[in-house]
A and B are shown apart, each in its own frame.
Chain A
Amino acid sequence: KNEVEQSPQNLTAQEGEFITINCSYSVGISALHWLQQHPGGGIVSLFMLSSGKKKHGRLIATINIQEKHSSLHITASHPRDSAVYICAVSPYSGGGADGLTFGKGTHLIIQP
């Protein structure tokens, strides 16, 4: 079973700061997902990646398959970025339908 660890668990920063959230996992995967969860529960998929780097607006996600590590970066952070960011991994497609394995999430607060 894959273990997914995120750091930090909590992060408070000032508006405009560059934010980095890290995720490591223990077993090989087919894909890694970065998700955003706002108070109230709704989860939005930000990225799904299996190699390299993806960028969407001010968000950048990278993954190093050899090191089993991924990072989510937020440039020019804004109070509306305040949310819980969750890393989740998909097993190899040949490993059965095990669903996603989630980290516990990083609670991010951006202060004006």
Chain B
Amino acid sequence: ETGVTQSPTHLIKTRGQQVTLRCSSQSGHNTVSWYQQALGQGPQFIFQYYREEENGRGNFPPRFSGLQFPNYSSELNVNALELDDSALYLCASSLEAPAYEQYFGPGTRLTVT
């Protein structure tokens, strides 16, 4: 059984650019959630995908978008990067809804300059 993986580990982008972060879910998990964690803060929910459909979204603007693929891997896309987007981005997979145990990836550290 493979765990949750994320790529890349670290990323540096310039304000205004676009970025794609990737997550590979734990085997057999069909639900993935993405979170943003600013330095010194708890993670904030961005959105959740279930069986390739977005089925929940936190308080993030539309320039944060995502995809989930048939193999349940997923992407987080952020357009028009802002300095405040600098954070650790975490994905977590679960068997169904978030009421099930969440398995977190190691995160992608994004720095926007």
Contact = CB atoms under 8 A, between A and B. Distances in A.
Interface of A: 4, 30-31, 33, 35, 40-45, 48, 86, 88, 90-91, 93, 96-105
A98 B58 contact: yes
Contacts of B44: 102
A42 B102 CA distance: 13
17 contacts: A33-B102, A41-B88, A42-B104, A43-B43, A43-B107, A45-B104, A86-B42, A88-B42, A88-B43, A91-B98, A97-B97, A98-B56, A99-B35, A99-B58, A99-B98, A100-B33, A104-B40
A100 B50 contact: no
Interface residues of B, number: 30
Contact of A98 (B35, B45, B107): B45
Contacts, number: 77
B99 A97 contact: no
**Main SS class of interface, B:** strand
B107 A41 contact: yes
A42 B45 contact: no
Contact of B48 (A44, A48, A97): A97
A41 B48 contact: no
A2 to B, nearest CB: 11
B42 A48 contact: no
Contact of A97 (B37, B56, B92, B104): B56
